[in-house]
Amino acid sequence: MKAAVLYETKQPLVLEDVDLDEPKAGEVLVKVGAAGICRSDRHFMHGDARINLPAILGHEGAGTVERVGPGVTLTKPGDQVILSFVPACGRCKSCLAGYSNLCDLHMATGPFMLDGTCRLHKNGQDIHHMGKVACFAEYAVVPETGCIPVSADVPMDIAAMIGCCVPTGVGAAVYSAQVQPGSTVAVVGCGGVGLNVIMGAKLLNAAKIIAVDIRESQLEFAMKFGATHSVNASDRDPVAQVKELTGGLGADYTFEVFGSAETIKAAYDMSAKRGTVTVVGIAPMDTEASFNAVDLVRNEKTIRGTYYGSARSRNDMPAMVELYLSGKLNLDDLVVRHYGLDQINQAYDDMDQGEVGRGAIVFD
């Protein structure tokens, strides 16, 4: 099958034929239908995050089940499925505590399948599976727990979005921060994930939703998804601007959705007394972020991270699908660019150039 392979950081992905094994026990072969262009893959390409190489990236995907391995009961051939990049084991401490987004077995096995081996190879060499999804390829072998069946009414590209940016962004507002009605929210970074944070805040009836970005185009686009105000961080200090828009108080809930020490500090500094700062963006590895320790205490602030929007894929992705089908999440306007797999490097360049909304690779 054709796949886009990362051999070396800071180099383009290589489009080539690779070998894919049959699914083993508890695994599923999926024909990929669509794969989203998320910045998390870009971090691996740039070397800002580490993955065993070579690797096939792509963790925001959806497709159709082609064949299943022995013992699979959660899905069957013909099902349309959303792929989860945390296929939870259901047995570890995190899973049992209700945090399947942090599954210990998944984290311990990283870019290998749950049994610690790879299904992807080229000339006898193993190729690693980003998030046990690896959907920048025509087919993927994934654990059955990473397949979430979805109605065929949901277009493939939108189903793919529900594999990462939707649960991550909406979940950050709904499950992690638990935004209260009537509150003020500031979202720093309004790309694919940030727009979903905005939609999550709108869903929970936040009164004021301030979009913060360095690009005017992103800010205008964010208004479609529920932002009520915008702040251009390249004009003037975004902290001062958010304070002005909130009567000097700062925002009750702030979200960092880019991934840098600078934007984490900005999200912290623009938060109000008793404010909650939720960090979604993944900063380059070894980044240390800082905030004023006295301010933290005297203003009773909370700072927390959120992985996968603290969403439990098997439980919460179907809820996101229902929110979309009932018109409460505007996912139709989110995917604005479609590419073939052979245009994948272009798709990532477009993201770097600041094209608005989400891009998606679509397969025939």
Tell me the closest approach of the beta carbon of residue 359 to Zn ion, in angstroms: 12
Determine if 192 is a binding residue for ligand NAD (CB under 6 A).
Answer: yes
In angstroms and rounded to an integer, the radius of gyration of the C-alpha atoms of the chain is 20
If contact means CB under 5 to 8 A according to the sort of partner, which of Zn ion, ligand NAD, none does residue 280 touch?
ligand NAD
Put the strands of the sheet holding 229-232 in their side by side order: 229-232, 208-213, 184-188, 251-256, 271-279, 302-305
Determine if 167 is a binding residue for ligand NAD (CB under 6 A).
Answer: no
Determine if 98 is a binding residue for ligand NAD (CB under 6 A).
Answer: no
Among 51, 147, 164, 227, binds Zn ion (CB under 5 A): 164
Question: Whole-angstrom Cα distance, residue 172 to residue 197?
Answer: 6
Determine if 103 is a binding residue for Zn ion (CB under 5 A).
Answer: yes
Determine if 40 is a binding residue for Zn ion (CB under 5 A).
Answer: yes
Question: Whole-angstrom Cα distance, residue 205 to residue 182?
Answer: 6
- Positions annotated as catalytic residues are 38, 40, 43, 59, 164
User: Is the link from the previous residue into 54 a cis peptide, with omega within 30 of 0?
Assistant: yes
The position carrying tokens 């709904």 is 174
Tell me the closest approach of the beta carbon of residue 83 to Zn ion, in angstroms: 11
Strand partners, 333: none
Which residue number places its CB atom closest to ligand NAD? 191
Outline where 149-274 has alpha helix (H).
156-161, 165-171, 192-203, 216-222, 238-245, 261-269
Determine if 270 is a binding residue for ligand NAD (CB under 6 A).
Answer: no
Residues of this chain that bind Zn ion (CB under 5 A): 38, 40, 60, 88-89, 92, 95, 103, 105, 164
Interacting residues toward ligand NAD by CB under 6 A? 38-40, 43, 164, 168, 188-194, 212-215, 218, 233, 257-259, 262-263, 280-282, 306-308, 351, 354
